[in-house]
Amino acid sequence: MDIEYRLAKPADLPAVAITFATAIDDLDKKHGFFTHPSSTSPPNPQYAFWLGKDPASFWVATHRGRVVGYTYSFLRGSFWFLADLFILPEYQGRGIGGDLIKRTLYSWKGHEISNKALITPAFNRASVSLYMRHGMLPRQPVYIARAERDKLVKTLGSRSSELEVDEVSDYDRVSGTLARLHTSALGFPPGWHNELFFQIQLASCLLFRIRGRTVGYSFTRPNGRVGPLVVRSDTFFRPAFELTLRVAAEKTKGEITVFFPATNAEAVRATIEHGFSIAYPLLFLSSKPMGDWGNYLFYSPGLM
């Protein structure tokens, strides 16, 4: 089969959205996780943002002019992350995934890469095997979990917290603070991720302080999705998490969604206590062990 590979262009983004939706919906149907079709129109604005930020690492695979697969990666310091890799079901198992990984990784030739990582559905055996062949090994489960807003309000109650919380909407004012917190917690900077949350997703940013010192931040969205949440020490994780949930519950009438690493014991305890149910199991893979995940809550499988 004559597959061609090239860098993505703005005109490819509708086809990229269709490729993602078709591939993930097919996977979810096969494993009993399908709930409703993924949206394709308009294309997720995240794709255009990616293309504008790192165009040299956004690749598509085409067959007779049709986009049949795509991938995108980013680099934070020396940490490389494979954000997306999706192939249409009828083109899977033909080596396209491996070819796309090589190309998006090669895009960062000349840059120091000390670790490579990604997150993928835990039940996607073919993808897990592919990533292992490329040196990224399973490190820990990660889970998307959901809770009904009304039930969450009851379990959260009105407990006081030692943390002060300040909601901010000016990215330029806090970008440096967020970058320092993220780097302190995970060992690498957030890059343009917080800019995406502010400008494209119109998320609300919460700053957490204790005695005037900023010790963490988190994001909430009108659709009930929270994260990422970053704190300087796992000592602050539980109060910051519960404050974030309380703000999220005030801003939405539907479900609240969180995405937590299984090795974060406080996140696990809090989600159990507050009635969250596991909705989707994923797996974090990396070429080297990394991170103290007790001070971090993810946002999505494709962004850190």
Q: Tens of pLDDT along 242-299?
A: 999 999 999 988 999 999 999 999 999 999 999 999 999 999 999 999 877 999 999 9
Q: Which amino acid is at 52?
A: G
Among candidate residues 280, 281, 284, 289, the one with its CA nearest the CA of residue 302: 284
* CA pair distance 117, 138, nearest whole angstrom: 10
Q: Indicate the pTM of the whole model.
A: 0.94
The pLDDT of residue 220 is above 90: yes
* CA pair distance 165, 147, nearest whole angstrom: 23
Query: Other C-beta atoms within 10 Å of 118: how many?
Result: 23
> What's the Rg (C-alpha) of the chain?
19
- 40-74 residue pLDDT tens: 988 999 999 999 999 999 999 999 999 999 999 99
Beta-carbon contacts of 174 under 8 Å, excluding residues fewer than 6 positions away, are 168, 205, 207, 217
- 113-141 residue pLDDT tens: 999 999 999 999 999 999 999 999 999 99
Fold matches, 4-113 and 143-297: yes
Domain 143-297 top-level CATH class: alpha beta
Q: What is the predicted pLDDT for the residue at 49?
A: 96
Kindly state which CATH superfamily the domain 4-113 is placed in: Gcn5-related N-acetyltransferase (GNAT) (3.40.630.30)
Q: Please report, for the chain, the start and end positions of each structural domain, with discontinuous segments joined by +.
A: 4-113, 143-297
* CA pair distance 164, 294, nearest whole angstrom: 20
